[in-house]
Amino acid sequence: MIIVMKQGASDDQLAHVVSLIEKHGLKAHVSRGVERTIIGCIGDEARIEPLPFQAVSGVERVMPVVKPYRMAARETHPQGSVVKVGGGSVPLVEIGSGSLTVMAGPCAVENAPLLDEIASSVKDSGAHLLRGGAFKPRTSPYAFQGLGVDGLKFLREAGDRFGLPVVSEVRNVRQVETCLDYVDMFQVGARNMQNFDLLMEVGRTTKPVLLKRGLASTVEELLMSAEYVMSMGNHGVVLCERGIRTFEKATRFTLDVSAVPILKRLSHLPVIVDPSHAAGQAWLVPFLALAAVAAGADGIIVEVHSRPEDALCDGDQALLPDTFRSLVHDLNSLRSSLPPASYAPWLS
């Protein structure tokens, strides 16, 4: 941490700041310039990070040097981490291992035959995981809330039948134990990205977690949420950019494509993109998915429905199975034509 003293700060004020630093077991390196004095704190910054130095008299600015997230930071794990999902009754999928991971399925599990139809077709098109919400976070309390535990059962059965690990959203702490019996991967939704109790609860399990970026959260806040999960012992976190709120109304959310290389540079965790919730309209989804792959995403999660006009949730943005099939083909060929690590200095 670097502390910049105000212009004209007195020697007493400087001595007081130095004594505070030393009191917490760090060394202070004082550097007197012509106009300003700056103090470099040497030692474990975590000890003094929470202290309100900004409020100490004579201090102008406090600049942290170490990132506030530790376990999620690339420094702690320079090579990217690989998150394993599934195994047992379904194939084991390795996210972040170099190939593109495709997760697909309906927004919500609606009924077993429809889910089977969609699962069968996405598997056939090259999907690796089946998605489907059983506990839906709806803006309106009157909208379809999902089938709950029945939805989880249908999802598990479809995953086992078609050889696809399953991912589903857990909306609150009480649902974690229930979901644990059915899902291969927890999804923490955008609206829950800073539900710290939920993050800690999934962090106490050993199931991987798909953590979606909050609608109005920064990249750093997303990484701090990943840190919550990891701090409880669960290191199987996959980050997901799904669009953020901006003034733009032409899309449901604005896909922050730049978040992909930024997250990959700052963190070793795999990064995937959800083009469906950002686009809000099916025709736009392939463009965003291609952009995500071009930006270096480790995977995508896409909504697919065989009868979007009848969908109980997010039908407007659901891809038809045929469109999904050609999209997967195009994403794979784009991925294989990308130059390797030449644009990724953090990998060298």
- What is the binding site for ligand PEP (CB under 6 A)? 107, 133, 137, 189-191, 212, 242, 274, 277
Site for Mn ion in 111-150 (CB under 5 A): none
User: Please, which residue, 14 or 108, has the CB nearer to Mn ion?
Assistant: 108
CB neighbour burial string for 134-151, b if at least 16 within 10 angstroms, e if fewer: bbbeeeeeeeebbbeeeb
Distances (CA, A) of 102 to 106, 167, 272, 321: 14, 12, 9, 14
Which residue is it, tokens 């039948």? 161
Cα–Cα distance for residue pair 152/135, rounded to 1 Å: 9
The entry of Mn ion, ligand PEP, none that residue 190 binds, CB within 5 to 8 Å by partner kind: ligand PEP
C-beta of 47 vs 191, nearer to ligand PEP: 191
110 touches Mn ion by CB under 5 A: no
- The single residue among 102, 107, 257, 289 that binds Mn ion, judged by CB under 5 A, is 107
Work out what residue 315 binds among Mn ion, ligand PEP, none; the CB cut-off runs from 5 to 8 Å by kind.
none
Angle at 63 between CA 62 and CA 65, to 5 degrees: 145
Partner whose footprint covers residue 137, from Mn ion, ligand PEP, none (CB < 5 to 8 Å by kind): ligand PEP
CA-closest candidate to residue 160, choices 183, 144, 143: 183
Q: How far is the CB of 201 from ligand PEP (least distance, A)?
A: 17
Mapped onto helix, strand or coil, the DSSP state of residue 29 is: strand
The amino acid sitting at 131 is R
Smallest distance from the beta carbon of 161 to ligand PEP, in angstroms? 22
Minimum gap (Å) between residue 277 Cβ and Mn ion: 6
- Binds Mn ion by CB under 5 A, chosen from 176, 314, 318, 325: 314
Do residues 239 and 265 make contact, with C-beta atoms less than 8 angstroms apart?
no
Q: How far is the CB of 132 from ligand PEP (least distance, A)?
A: 9
242 touches, from Mn ion, ligand PEP, none (C-beta below 5 to 8 Å by class): ligand PEP
